Amino acid sequence: MPELLLHYIWQRKAFLAFPQATTDGRPIEVIDVGTHNTDAGPDFIAAKLKIDGTLWVGNVEIHILSSDWYRHGHDSDHAYDSVVLHVVRRADKEVINARGEVLTQCELRYPDDEQLLNQLIIDHISLCSDRLQQDNTLLTSNWKRALLTDRLKRKNEAIIQLLNLTHNNWREAFYITLAHNFGFHTNSIPFELLAKSLPLSVLLRHRDSLFSLEALLFGQSGLLNDNTANDDYSTSLLKEYKFLRTKYSLQPIDYSLWKLLRMRPQNFPHLRIAQFAALFSQSEFLFSRLMEESDLCRLRTCFHVSASDYWTTHYRFCRTSPVLASAIGKSAIDLLLINTVVPYKFAYSYGNTTTYQENAVTLLKQIPAEKNSIIDRWKLLGFSIKNAAESQTFIHLYQNYCLREQCLNCEVGWQIFAINIDNISLNNNNLSSLHI
């Protein structure tokens, strides 16, 4: 049984029809189950319990086995000293907190219809899918708005971390995030490391020379080296990079970080790096321009750049190919707007006016929905996902609730599972089905 089920039973008070007692036989009356804690620390905070007639106010920790207390290291963590009750499915061991105190434990008694419980938890995604396919209104507009806001706030937290790293330099932080998203998931990490290894200030000093920008970026990526530079273009590029590397005391990242297998030529990191160089050769004040611009068409124009001529016939150094579209494609531009420009507009509003924040949400509603496997799954359930605001909402729901089995914290899960738990309570009058 997943621990999630015990959390659900406790939070929903599905145990109330059955007498509860400590492992040493003292009766327990649950007055308040407490607040479910989704951060570090005990599972439920500020619970109110009467144990053998004595009122206790404190935290509750839930495990399948008592021994999980030790497996999770709670016996040496003072954050768990406030636990007044250890709720378990089976008490297989006495537990002691970091202060050396023996904890009160309870083997939770609850309705134990194995078939339905397995459906609720083990097959919870299928259960949600079936119910949502029957009734899309279970996913309310209020919950969708909350999901989108939460997604933007989480991205804002990542931006704040970068601002701390860059000493509150918005342009530098944006540059790193943009590089990360230029990797388009497959090469996001090496692209981000490349940006962190090459300060924006160094890059902008050579903005007037696309060749120098390419030398810096390709050299720092590790993809340009003595083994890969075997034609006139790459040899000249490497010579320029060696000079600039010495001048700025640069250290390239490990070239082995880049993923090159089973990729289409237009998705190779070499072409993306060349496009990235072209983007920064176009505008010295790219960040300011993107923040101040609110029109979607003009924002897209900011990314209408093409890599240098070499990359119309190459996808790697010295590797030719049929003519490639060296410009950044429309769908790629929209992804950069969704994952970079919109989050920074939303974050920028915290230090200025809400105009940026409103523009961020408006842009998401104007940009077409992303196309990926997650969105395809939702469409199979009958949802019409027309714009990026909706696709970001559904991606956030899937990644942060469905995949992580956070049904208890999802409005849809509450509606579905509450009905089923109530059915268990109503239909289960046989005390032989109790888990004891």
CA angle 103, 108, 111 (to 5 degrees): 175
Q: What is the reported pLDDT for 189?
A: 96
State the pLDDT confidence band at 402, using cuts at 50, 70 and 90: confident
Query: Which residues form the domain of 61?
Result: 3-121+416-433
Q: What is the reported pLDDT for 122?
A: 52
Strands 319-320 and 314-316: antiparallel
Pair (296, 233) in one structural domain: yes
Rounded Cα distance between 58 and 33, Å, is 10
The number of folded domains in the chain is 2
Pair (102, 251) in one structural domain: no
| Residues 6 or more apart whose Cβ sits within 8 Å of residue 259 | 186, 187, 269
Domain boundary among 291, 311, 331: 331
Pair (108, 182) in one structural domain: no
Pair (203, 319) in one structural domain: yes
Pair (203, 316) in one structural domain: yes
- Of 144, 133, 134, the residue nearest 381 (C-alpha): 133
Q: What is the reported pLDDT for 433?
A: 36
**For residues 160, 166, 170 and 173, what is the CA-based torsion angle, rounded to 10 degrees?**
-80
State the pLDDT confidence band at 112, using cuts at 50, 70 and 90: low
Three-state helix/strand/coil letters over 10-34 = HHCCCCCCCCEEECCCCEEEEEECC
State the pLDDT confidence band at 411, using cuts at 50, 70 and 90: confident
Rounded Cα distance between 46 and 137, Å, is 34
Domain boundary among 313, 331, 349: 331
State the pLDDT confidence band at 424, using cuts at 50, 70 and 90: very low
State which amino acid sits at residue 270: H
Domain boundary among 331, 360, 392: 331
pLDDT in tens, 182-229: 999 899 999 999 999 999 999 999 999 999 999 999 999 999 999 999
Instruction: Find out whether 50 and 66 touch, Cβ atoms under 8 Å.
Output: no
Pair (97, 177) in one structural domain: no
Question: Is residue 79 helix, strand or coil?
Answer: helix
Pair (101, 211) in one structural domain: no
For the chain, the C-alpha Rg in angstroms (whole number) is: 28
Q: What is the reported pLDDT for 177?
A: 98
Q: Which two tokens stand for residue 1?
A: 């049984």
Rounded Cα distance between 324 and 416, Å, is 50
pTM metric for this prediction: 0.73
**How deeply is 276 buried, as exposed, middle or buried, from its count of CB atoms within 10 A (0-12, 13-18, 19+)?**
buried
pLDDT at 243 over 60: yes
Quick one: how far is CA 166 from the chain centroid? Answer: 22
State the pLDDT confidence band at 286, using cuts at 50, 70 and 90: very high
Q: What is the reported pLDDT for 423?
A: 52
Q: Which two tokens stand for residue 316?
A: 């790697």
State which amino acid sits at residue 113: D
DSSP letter assigned to residue 319: E
Angle between helices 210-221 and 188-197 (to 10 degrees): 110
pLDDT at 54 over 70: yes
Rounded Cα distance between 98 and 100, Å, is 5
- Average pLDDT on 402-423 reads 69
Pair (54, 116) in one structural domain: yes
- Average pLDDT on 289-302 reads 95
- Average pLDDT on 135-161 reads 94
Instruction: Find out whether 364 and 338 touch, Cβ atoms under 8 Å.
Output: yes
Pair (289, 181) in one structural domain: yes
Rounded Cα distance between 363 and 349, Å, is 15
Question: Is residue 45 helix, strand or coil?
Answer: strand
- Of 122, 114, 43, the residue nearest 435 (C-alpha): 114
pLDDT at 38 over 80: no
